Amino acid sequence: MRKFSTILIIAGLVIALYPAVNRYIEQREEARLMAELEEQLTQMELERETVEAYQELQEMFTAYDEEEQGFEASPEEIRPAEEGALLGSLEIPAIDAKMPVVQGASDHNLKTAAALLDGTSPIGSIGNAAIAAHRSHTYGRFFNRLNEVKLGDTIHITTPEETYVYRVYEIKVVEPTDLSVLNRNSRDKVVTLITCDPIYVASHRLIIHGVMVESEEEENDQTTATAGF
């Protein structure tokens, strides 16, 4: 009899608590769906921002080529990068290139630095950080010698927090409309360098992809292996 009473009590509790438990489960699912929707909307906005920034490069690359070929910009047009835009510096030892990196590939930012495209991943994080610079006609300036980079070369990006080292794993020339170079990466920390190609024309894009070397020891090991020691 006591066992039967216990069963009745438990059954009563289950019946009494069911609506509350059910509401809790529904609220959790609703919150999950809303968070997922918000994440999707944020991702779509970032992708739209990235595509717009990439497409605007063509006009800026073309205008820069015209200036370099004799249509010089006035001093008023050559302004410092926007305040607060400086992210760090980028160095490619193999081609003796070093330059500042700023946030936002605006026309006047690209006159004085390489620029991280808005909407792409932050430097040093998982994803694809796209950095553009002009293919200056001055030897060694900006990405003038980027075509000399080879597979296995390193890209060093120094921020106030840390120096990140990337190893080049892919080099290609694409149409300006090829957005695949901006594909997001959910696993690796990738940097993508972008400039016009060939020099003087800007009809295509020279793309350099690098993946982060996770430690200085790993970088040294790979450098030694490449050297054949």
Which residue type occupies 193?
L
pLDDT digits (tens, 9 = 90+) for 98-145: 999 999 888 888 888 999 998 899 999 999 999 999 987 787 789 999
Read off the pLDDT band of 68 (50, 70, 90). low
Mean pLDDT of 6-16: 67
Mean pLDDT of 161-182: 93
Read off the pLDDT band of 21 (50, 70, 90). low
Hey, what domains does the chain have and what are their CATH numbers? 44-227 (2.40.260.10)
Read off the pLDDT band of 50 (50, 70, 90). low
Are residues 123 and 87 in contact, defined by beta-carbon separation less than 8 angstroms? yes
Q: Which residues of 66-102 are buried (b: 16+ CB within 10 A; e: fewer)?
A: ebbeeeebeeeeeeebeeebbbbbbbbeebebebbbb
Cα(22)–Cα(5) distance, integer angstroms: 25
Find, among 154, 159, 180, 138, the residue nearest to 47 by Cα. Answer: 180
Which residue type occupies 131?
I
Residues labelled catalytic: 134, 196
pLDDT digits (tens, 9 = 90+) for 96-108: 999 999 998 888 8
pLDDT at 73 over 80: no
